[in-house]
Amino acid sequence: MLPLLMKDGLLVPYISTTLLYIIISRSTTPVFVLPSEEYRLQRRLQKFTFYWSMFGVIALTALSVFATPPPKLPDLLPVLVSVYSCSHFLLFLVYFHVRQFQCKDSETMDTSHTPYTQLKKKQ
């Protein structure tokens, strides 16, 4: 999608909405809440993969904007963006498919980080 956004001159809105996404996700998702002892490693891994993913997006965007592809491979950067996006889709597909069969009921899920649970504890 990045090559099409660049072709249509929508690079600035793309970058601004990406930054807005990072700011909002950093302030609202439970990945960044202080973890309980049981799930500390899992949350660290989630945080690491989130930042690694965002680093890849930023690097591919910078390469697409500032680098010129070699003459023999003029479509190299769009292909790299497509491979990166497809790999993310497949990894999330496998992760959530496995995850849905690991949770048997609501008692096995960690809901201590949700806003509703925190509000309920305060009352």
- What are the tokens at 46? 């989630």
Q: Identify the residue with better confidence: 1 or 31.
A: 1
Which pLDDT belongs to residue 66?
Answer: 92
User: What is the distance between the alpha carbons of residues 101 and 90, in angstroms, rounded to a whole number?
Assistant: 17
Predicted local confidence at residue 90, as pLDDT = 96
Of the candidates 44, 56, 46, the residue with the CA atom closest to the CA atom of residue 87? 56
Mean pLDDT of the chain: 80
Higher per-residue confidence, 16 vs 104: 16
Average pLDDT over residues 4-17: 90
Is 0.85 topped by the overall pTM? Answer: no
pLDDT > 90 fraction of the chain, expressed in percent and rounded:
35
Backbone angles phi, psi at 22, to 5 degrees: -65, -45
Per-residue pLDDT of 55-88, as tens digits, reads 999 999 999 999 998 999 999 999 999 999 999 9
Residue recorded with tokens 């660049």: 6
Per DSSP, the three-state class of 79 is helix
